[in-house]
A = this chain, B = another copy of it.
Amino acid sequence: MKKNKPKYKQIIDAAVEVIAENGYHASQVSKIAKKAGVADGTIYLYFKNKEDILVSLFQEKMGQFVERIKEDIEKKDNASDKLYSLIQMHFRQLAENHNLAIVTQLELRQSNKDLRLKINDVLKGYLGIVDEILKEGIEEGLYHPEINIKLVRQMIFGTLDEVVTNWVMKEQRYNLVSQTKDVHHFITNGLIK
């Protein structure tokens, strides 16, 4: 399977670097090939086309992203801690990988609708985790039993995503992870006293 060959990952990592450095639109296949140390044509032995590099990049990186969150959450034994952990891991992973943060928050959003639909597929894994936490919280009697789960999961994702995007746009000049507590409080308690 191609995905295990070293060049597959090599090309994806090159793509992250190239896109982070040059921006989405200035990231030609030839630049990615050069950074990866392969010929242009070689790219097409591992990826169907340019879009496929980007989708694969997202799948690969977000797969790990989601996986690590899952692992971390398993250790917690109530919904609130799990939610806290989700937020913290979400922030931490992007804070630890600046290039990836730039690529996922800014550059990849410039892709067309088709690509973003595929990206959304990948995000389903993430939203699934949120769902689980919400259900658990309701069972535990912690969260309000009549919340609209589909809607709430969107709002939570929107909240976290916007916070990260702002941090990236501000050129990551402040500590993202230390906002975890405030964000957790907002999601849990809202604005009220």
Partner of A189, one of B113, B160, B189: B189
Distance (Å) between the CB of A101 and the closest chain B CB? Answer: 14
Judged by a CB distance under 8 angstroms, whether A177 is at the interface is no
Judged by a CB distance under 8 angstroms, whether A78 is at the interface is no
CA distance A152 to B182 in the complex (A): 9
Q: Are B189 and A192 in contact (CB under 8 A)?
A: yes
Partner of A163, one of B110, B158, B191: B158
Question: What chain B residues lie within 8 Å of A137 (beta carbons)?
Answer: 191
Q: A154-B166, A155-B183, A189-B192 are in contact. List 16 more A-B contacts (CB 8 A).
A: A25-B112, A110-B111, A134-B191, A137-B191, A143-B191, A144-B193, A151-B186, A155-B159, A158-B163, A159-B162, A162-B162, A186-B190, A187-B190, A188-B192, A189-B189, A190-B190
Partner of A112, one of B24, B116, B159: B24
Distance (Å) between the CB of A82 and the closest chain B CB? Answer: 12
Question: Can you name the residue of chain B whose Cβ is closest to the Cβ of A137?
Answer: B191
For window 165-184 of A, CB contacts with B under 8 Å fall at 165-166, 169, 179, 182-183
Partner of A154, one of B25, B163, B187, B190: B163
Distance (Å) between the CB of A118 and the closest chain B CB? Answer: 12
A residues neighboring B (CB under 8 Å): 23-25, 83, 106-107, 109-113, 116-117, 120, 134, 137, 141-145, 147-148, 151-152, 154-155, 157-163, 165-166, 169, 179, 182-183, 185-193
Question: Can you name the residue of chain B whose Cβ is closest to the Cβ of A145?
Answer: B193
